Amino acid sequence: MDSLNYTPDNITSLGQDEVFVFGSNLAGIHAGGAARVALERFGAIMGQGEGIQGQSYAIPTMFKNPCDIKPYIDRFIDLAREWDQTTFYVTRVGCGIAGFSDEQIAPMFAPALELYNVRLPESFVRIIRESEGKNRSVC
């Protein structure tokens, strides 16, 4: 995977069939980090904590246990499989305000690596690739 296939570190605009994927809280209070960017630039809806909203997609991440995020990541990956004409740019969900490490979150996105329409942060891809064949289950 070359660098063109990673999520850029700083997304300020999107094309017509592109979606910004960010970490949220279940209440949908998009006050900081990538959630605030989604609210201000990409159509995130205050009060909606999960799912597609404008040109953004919220994944709830504000939990005590990172494994509580996995069902929401799985739902996102299912949607990305269905919406195969849309490119999804996944930010480092859960690794900012939520306080989890890339090592805790990235493996949950491993199934997305096979999808041509999902871009992951470079750190997530590196972690997923390093753990391939080591049978490491995070959750």
Dump pLDDT digits (tens) for 17-44.
999 999 999 999 999 999 999 999 999 9
Helix (H, G, I), strand (E, B) or coil at 129: helix
Question: How do residues 63-102 score in pLDDT, each as one tens digit?
Answer: 999 999 999 999 999 999 999 999 999 999 999 999 999 9
Structure-derived torsion over alpha carbons of residues 63, 124, 76, 9, reported in degrees to the nearest 10: 90
Spatial separation of the C-alpha atoms in residues 42 and 21, rounded to whole Å: 10
Q: Structural domains in the chain?
A: 15-131 (3.40.220.10)
Burial string for 104-125 (b: 16+ CB within 10 Å, else e) reads: bbbbbbbebeeeebbbbbbbbb
